Amino acid sequence: MTEVDFYELLQVERGADGATIKSAYRKLAMECHPDRNPGDAEAEAKFKTINEAYECLKDPQKRAAYDRFGHAAFQNGGGGTPGGGDGFGAFSDIFENIFGEDFMGGRGRGGRQDVRRGADLRYDYEITLEDAYHGKDAELTLDVAAACDACEGSGAKPGTGAQTCATCQGHGKVRAQQGLFLVERTCPSCHGMGQVIADPCDQCRGEGRVDQTKTIDVKIPPGVDEGTRIRVSGEGEAGARGGPAGDLYIFVHLSRHQLFQREGTALFARCPISFTTAALGGSIEVPGLDGEVHEFVVPPGMQTGKQLRKRGAGMPVLQGRGHGDLVVQFDVETPTKLSARQKEILQEFRETETGEECPESAGFFDKLKSMFGE
């Protein structure tokens, strides 16, 4: 039998992107759908063939294999038929994108969904900057849906069990023909579980889980920042009727620190200094989060807004090596209370000023004079 090239069959170029291939497939599928061509064996055969072609070309791995080896890529144990299924698989993908997964059965198309994963949980946890620096062993108390001990999560009264749903015969889905489409929906009797419980557990009323308060231990690693998310596997809500538990996501928040502000791995501190220290120079000591006292040498002529940096004295790198920097930004403080002697000394200093002591101020006033022609 002659094998038709998939690209020719869908009437697209070999380099066509996914959107172009899907558009071409949709048009052809609507034209030759069996419901539009009742009794036409040729149209039905073509419908199956274009589904096979689309199933292959929409999958990047299958498409790469087909581009290299052609139809031989799926023969003699090479992965089976590219399309597979009953001819409706690829056609349903178009409507899943429009109406959502449940339109044609979603991920569990035609299959039984007798277990459901529990929901993930979010927990907002506030810590200090010191805790973020050193890390912390936290004990969290949660109100969560946990597996029922009485029925061991099955939902059925001890000594009994679940029965196959008579409505969907255990598939968890029911199908109905609506015009051109074969619509598949979640079974209304078992809600997609494939099973029903005739004699539910008294403790959980058939859910397989009960509300419970539990305490878990969590390690907060050094270097976490505002908004850091920590995942704890299996500590979310228990799944219904023995389904696997979801995960717990802890979102870290940092409380305001009285001295430091954090930007990434850098720590910033605003430090006021006297105008004499700024003019003559000196040194200051800043206690770091690492427990050390870090000395900063202030050079003469320090201005407001200038910064000094201590390498490696900042925050640790999260799940990495090394630390950021500790940065001190200076604010020169003008004295507000002066003794008579101090005023006298400052007056003497002002009388000896030449303008070279503060070049920025002198330059500013020179510009003002030039603007007014003085």
Whole-angstrom Cα distance, residue 42 to residue 192?
Answer: 37
Q: Does 154 share its domain with 72?
A: no
Q: With a cut of 70, say whether residue 61 has pLDDT above it.
A: yes
CB 315 within 8 A of CB 133: yes
Q: Does 242 share its domain with 270?
A: no
Q: Does 164 share its domain with 275?
A: no
Does residue 351 lie in a domain region? yes
Task: Please check if 151 is assigned to a binding site.
Answer: yes
Does residue 110 lie in a domain region? no
Q: Quick one: average pLDDT of 313-333? A: 93
Between 233 and 373, whose confidence is greater? 233
Whole-angstrom Cα distance, residue 231 to residue 225?
Answer: 15
Q: What is the pTM of this model?
A: 0.58
Q: Does 353 share its domain with 332?
A: no
Whole-angstrom Cα distance, residue 99 to residue 348?
Answer: 85
Task: Please check if 358 is assigned to a binding site.
Answer: no
Which of 38-42, 157-161, 213-217 has the highest average model confidence (pLDDT)? 213-217
Look at residues 206, 94, 105 and name the one whose alpha carbon lies nearest to residue 150.
206
Q: Quick one: average pLDDT of 311-325? A: 93
Task: Please check if 187 is assigned to a binding site.
Answer: yes
Q: Does 284 share its domain with 164?
A: no
Structural domain including 359 reads 342-371
Q: Does 129 share its domain with 242?
A: yes
Q: Does 137 share its domain with 228?
A: yes
Does residue 111 lie in a domain region? no
Q: With a cut of 90, say whether residue 311 has pLDDT above it.
A: yes
Burial class (CB in 10 A: 0-12, 13-18, 19+), 77: exposed
Q: With a cut of 90, say whether residue 310 has pLDDT above it.
A: yes
Task: Please check if 201 is assigned to a binding site.
Answer: yes
- The pLDDT tens digits for 163-174 are 888 888 888 888
Q: With a cut of 90, say whether residue 156 has pLDDT above it.
A: no
Q: With a cut of 90, say whether residue 192 has pLDDT above it.
A: no
Give me the chain's average pLDDT, please: 82
Q: Does 133 share its domain with 202?
A: yes
Does residue 193 lie in a domain region? yes
Does residue 115 lie in a domain region? no
Domain termination site, one of 64, 99, 134: 99
Contacts of 124 (CB under 8 A, 6+ apart): 250, 251, 253
Between 41 and 347, whose confidence is greater? 347
Q: Does 249 share its domain with 127?
A: yes
CB 128 within 8 A of CB 256: no
- The pLDDT tens digits for 245-296 are 899 999 999 999 999 999 999 999 999 999 999 999 999 999 999 999 999 9
Q: With a cut of 80, say whether residue 365 has pLDDT above it.
A: no
Does residue 109 lie in a domain region? no
Q: Quick one: average pLDDT of 61-88? A: 62
Q: With a cut of 60, say whether residue 81 has pLDDT above it.
A: no
Q: Does 330 share its domain with 220?
A: no
| Residue 124 banded pLDDT, cuts 50, 70, 90 | very high
Q: Does 125 share its domain with 242?
A: yes
- What is the share, in percent, of the chain residues with pLDDT greater than 70? 83
Distance of CA 226 to the CA centre of its chain: 15
Instruction: Please report the sign of the dihedral spanned by the C-alpha atoms of residue 354, residue 357, residue 363, residue 365.
Output: negative
Q: Which residue has the tokens 């900063």?
A: 296
Q: Does 159 share its domain with 186?
A: yes
- The pLDDT tens digits for 95-104 are 444 444 444 4
